[in-house]
Structure 1
């Protein structure tokens, strides 16, 4: 640029081009078949992640990286709105966020053990079921299931139609799930890869992706509202096979590891069966995946006759999913 005038004109030209591109993309999404829109989401996530990696390793300013992240999130919101609109037009008015969650039942052979919550996470074309590690195995209570069952919708036009998918937890004596640990010890999160070929035909589900993770912790303030989507005590819409939502707030400094552990606190009202539920924040109409609800917290010194329980919960930071789904 030779002078400030040229620089200003170039910035205006780029802004105009971006607006025109947004208009073109919006128009294309409106005329695309719903199946193509759903296919576009994971492909866009893959390309955005590749571009992000390139930018982070290139000699480029933080302003450019921030602009990239804002545009990616704007595109994600646009895609989410279009996919949700297509789902509503196909015969149901279900909020897509409810289709990201599934009820989990753990079994030892044919004997039912416990129920919990899980949600779907997709990365580079691979589909994972995310829940708490203690849902798959919990040594202190001798909880050792060998398989789980999840409920899946089979008809986009009729949410009352569903089937159960049985998933083995071991293969050749080895656990099929991935788990993690860090400087604070065991992380109570696990992911189990699902075989897409084993899913029922016309399976209706939606999944979170790396693009839904919160990359700016400072944007989440203490007291920010949250949603926990799950199956408290197994309670849910049994007719339409959908979870329920609890509201809560961020109860500790988001971005800091509470007492050195890889989680933050929430004050949502929760019950057994909610373990493994996604902890979400709605930011201007777009959902962000902040964490994975694990358990209610209490104090060993609490006098149960004089003091109520704390009403606080631990939620493991969702960023751990990047390590757990890293391609091997």
Structure 2
């Protein structure tokens, strides 16, 4: 059975307060200099305006690339001694809705099947992706996924704003795709050449809408914010080193 490696990059994240399940979201793996990180939207881990304050997360890792029913659940505490364990970013436009948590390889199953993105598989800000270029969003909309094989689903979309330009001064571009709650933190990718034939453009954060929209007359905008992937280079920088 040949499974696209992209599906081993994304993970389903469940947030908890104690033993109480709160929400489900999307995330993916990122590797830098041998260190492994879990990437998702910052609001998945902490959202003060929404009253969302989980204290731990769980996600699933496959342990056999052939038998997809073989997997393990990992639990990660979000706080230690009252200190948050994730890194989040800020830039000239304000807070960046992306967060990373470093994973200790010692806690991973010895046969873990991992396909993390890396700096080499991230798109450069000056890369050229024309308006309307097709993209894929790999995640778990409304918590939906292949429950037998623990695999995500893929939605198609298109670049909907000038790629490389900070939309309305924020560090993201727009994607025209059908996304739902639970897609927050999903990787947005395009097919490319190379051993790992996917390029990471960014991290899906949220869907946009207009408060002038009338439910009886107007469909939702169907546009989503995708934070540029280069934020990961900053968030995974070793302490004490310049980005």
Normalising by structure 1, report the TM-score.
0.71
Per the alignment, residue 153 of structure 2 pairs with 244
Alignment of 1:302-321 (within 5 A): 302-321=213-232
How much is the aligned-residue C-alpha RMSD, in angstroms? Answer: 1.1
How far did residue 322 of structure 1 move? 0.3
**Would you say how many aligned residue pairs link Structure 1 and Structure 2?**
237
Whose strand proportion is higher, 1 or 2?
2
2:167 corresponds to which of 251, 258, 263: 258
Asked if the contact 2:125/2:230 (under 8 Å) is kept, the reply is no
What residue ranges of structure 1 are gaps of 5+ in the alignment?
1-91
Counterpart residue number, 1:99: 8
Distance 2:112 2:224 in 1: 33
| Pick aligned residue for 2:21 from 88, 97, 112 | 112
Match of 1:105, SS state, is strand
Counterpart check, 1:184 vs 2:56: no
> Within 5 A, what are the aligned runs for 1:142-157?
142-157=51-66
- Alignment of 1:288 with 2:193, yes or no, is no
Within 5 Å, give how 1:1-328 maps onto structure 2.
Answer: 92-215=1-124, 217-284=126-193, 286-328=197-239
User: When you count helix as a share of all residues, which structure comes out higher?
Assistant: 1
**Which structure has more RCO (C-alpha within 8 Å, separation ≥ 6)?**
2
Structure 2: which 5+ runs fail to align? none
Q: 3-state DSSP class of the match of 1:219?
A: coil
Q: Distance in 1 between matches of 2:61 and 2:193?
A: 29
Cα distance, 1:157 vs structure 2:
2.7
Q: Displacement of 1:216 after TM fit?
A: 5.7
